[in-house]
Structure 1
Amino acid sequence: MQVYIWLLFPMAFLLPRKAWSGEIIGGQEARCHSRPYMAYLEIDDGKEISRCGGFLVSENFVLTAAHCNVGEITVLLGVHNLKSKRERRRQVIPVQAKIPHPEYDIMLLQLKKKAELNKYVNLIRLPQAHQRVHPGAKCSVAGWGRTNVDSELLSDTLQKVDVMVMPDAACPYLHYNPSTMLCAGDPHEGKNPSKGDSGGPLVCRGTAQGIVSLVHTRGTCPAVYTRVSTFIPWIKETMKKLQP
């Protein structure tokens, strides 16, 4: 019997920001600091520490998934190996404000101070509003989540995997909405994100086209990503309001 991670959230597609996600399955360790836009989100809910991914879109804004809004968030930039004591270029910045979209699985984090941009920490390009990604496009996703569906262990090093964008009509989820979501992955190869990778970017030709939002628990179906291009007006308006 197939079990889907959103069974815990029966309204997941009616309220997409409730969808959950997680690990890099079938991938490999990313080249050290090859993705300077990646943000590691350490989340403290008062009882335990959890993690999400995110990506730097401005010197003081990180984009992630709204379902990562479950506690106090600290953003780490310039990180590859979480346990390494030699990564002296990493930047640890508390979050000043969390701005989740009221309906969809996308959230902006305003940092308490601007990130220092360099070869280890930098921005990623956002798409134009309502830009479409063509089916068959080869993209990549990265994160510090699980690397094995049979283990709860999370990765200490940044992992990455290449995935292919699927036609909207081929996405197997009942309430899939092509205007706010995109579907990517190869169920035959079992390469997907899934726990700990939520909020990370789906990167296509150097542009953040999606946000890891929802996956099959075993990685055997394509993942669903929040379609970033749909929310460009919201992102720009929100950042403009909060800029000093």
Structure 2
Amino acid sequence: MTSKIKVIIIIICNIKITSSNMTGNVINGVASDIIDFPHSAYLAIECSSSRGEGYFSCGSSIVNQAVLLTAGHCVIGCHENVDAFAIFGHEKRDKGMVANVSHIKLHEDHFEGSLSNDIALVLLEKNLKFSSAVRRVALMRHPPDVDDATVAGWGKTNEQSNDVSNILMSTKQKILFPSTCTFTMNNPAGTFCADSRPGTGIPARADSGNAMIVNDFIQIGLVSYMDPQISKRITVYSNISYFYDWIKYNARKLFCKRRNSKCKYAMI
């Protein structure tokens, strides 16, 4: 892994080796109600990998009753030896419900040091009970063509402080033209870029895996990385429509691993 890629991933994922510092992060975001982002789930991950003993903090989204969608670099090296749980159902993290993780499916073509195929699925030990505060996202092969989207997560109040918010925070993002993104960020296939509008928040360290949402419930991307040497405002997102077939196939396959689950009821 090059030093540049290490910087990119650590800024987003908030990896802390040998000690726990689990935070989510939308810097300068707006305090939000879970009812507006019921798909949001916080992932706390502890694992042993080639990088050593580590605690990892990421965001995720609910794709069906037992499967969450997150960034691949959040779980790489952890899928065979992991102790993880998700928090969901409340805008205050310390009041949310907790579900343990039983299995992780990392994209087959995502590997340590790569920015490509940065996507993974997480299987929970028990099915979620949907409510106004716990709902799945809608995933589409051909989502609406829009300019603005929203990202939500838990965490740090500003870039200079280590203080973290216990409240769900959200921010608006402006989706950039593909040509602008490729020229500026040299982003890999299966990704797109978005810029933070002046005066709005910025997805940052530990925000990996959080969903980019349009029309209140349609997920079009998930936070992958940013390169602060190029821009501190532009974020690269894994493109949901690009990975739609992979998500659909593997989410159903994971769901069907559960003996008490009927595959025909696995929604996506």
Which of the five TM-score ranges fits, normalised by the shorter chain?
Answer: 0.7 to 0.9
Aligned to 1:238: 250
Paired with 2:211 and 2:87, the residues of 1 have a C-alpha distance of 16
- The answer to whether the Cα contact below 8 Å between 1:63 and 1:199 also exists between their aligned partners in 2 is yes
The secondary structure found in structure 2 opposite 1:145 is strand
Q: Which consecutive residues of structure 1, in runs of 5 or more, have no partner in the other structure? A: 1-5, 13-17
Selected match of 1:24 from 16, 26, 31: 26
Paired with 1:19 and 1:232, the residues of 2 have a C-alpha distance of 26
Selected match of 2:135 from 94, 119, 122: 122
Segment of structure 1 superposing worse, 66-75 or 193-202: 66-75
Paired with 1:101 and 1:19, the residues of 2 have a C-alpha distance of 19
Aligned to 1:209: 220
Q: Give the CA deviation at 1:44.
A: 1.9
What is the TM-score normalised by the length of structure 1?
0.81
Q: Deviations over 1:152-183 (max 9, x none)?
A: 33321110001111111112544313x40011
- The answer to whether the Cα contact below 8 Å between 2:151 and 2:171 also exists between their aligned partners in 1 is yes
Paired with 1:82 and 1:133, the residues of 2 have a C-alpha distance of 31
Segment of structure 1 superposing worse, 41-50 or 96-105: 41-50
Q: When the two structures are aligned, how many residues end up with a matched partner?
A: 225
Paired with 2:35 and 2:218, the residues of 1 have a C-alpha distance of 17
Paired with 1:50 and 1:138, the residues of 2 have a C-alpha distance of 29
Residues 131-146 of structure 1: pairs in structure 2 closer than 5 A: 131=142, 134=145, 137-146=147-156
Paired with 1:109 and 1:204, the residues of 2 have a C-alpha distance of 23
Aligned to 1:102: 108
Paired with 1:234 and 1:222, the residues of 2 have a C-alpha distance of 26
Paired with 1:19 and 1:207, the residues of 2 have a C-alpha distance of 28
Q: Deviations over 1:196-236 (max 9, x none)?
A: 21110000112100010112449733100000111111111
Paired with 1:72 and 1:209, the residues of 2 have a C-alpha distance of 28
Aligned to 1:176: 187
Q: Give the CA deviation at 1:241.
A: 2.3
- The alpha-carbon distance between structure 1 residues 138 and 202, as it changes in their structure 2 partners (threshold 3 A), is same
Aligned to 1:7: 4
Q: Which consecutive residues of structure 2, in runs of 5 or more, have no partner in the other structure? A: 14-24, 110-116, 259-268
Paired with 2:175 and 2:214, the residues of 1 have a C-alpha distance of 9
Q: Judging by fraction of residues, say which structure has more helix.
A: 2
- The answer to whether the Cα contact below 8 Å between 2:41 and 2:88 also exists between their aligned partners in 1 is yes
Paired with 2:10 and 2:246, the residues of 1 have a C-alpha distance of 20
The secondary structure found in structure 2 opposite 1:203 is strand
Aligned to 1:224: 236
Aligned to 1:3: none
Q: Judging by fraction of residues, say which structure has more strand.
A: 2
Aligned to 2:266: none
Q: Give the CA deviation at 1:39.
A: 0.6
Across the aligned residues of Structure 1 and Structure 2, the Cα RMSD in angstroms comes to 2.7
- The alpha-carbon distance between structure 1 residues 75 and 197, as it changes in their structure 2 partners (threshold 3 A), is same
The secondary structure found in structure 2 opposite 1:120 is coil
Aligned to 2:36: 34
Q: Give the CA deviation at 1:33.
A: 3.4
Selected match of 1:53 from 39, 56, 59: 59
The secondary structure found in structure 2 opposite 1:233 is helix
* Residue 151 of structure 1 pairs with residue 179 of structure 2: no
Paired with 2:41 and 2:143, the residues of 1 have a C-alpha distance of 25
What is the TM-score normalised by the length of structure 2?
0.75
- The answer to whether the Cα contact below 8 Å between 1:146 and 1:153 also exists between their aligned partners in 2 is yes
- The answer to whether the Cα contact below 8 Å between 2:34 and 2:133 also exists between their aligned partners in 1 is no
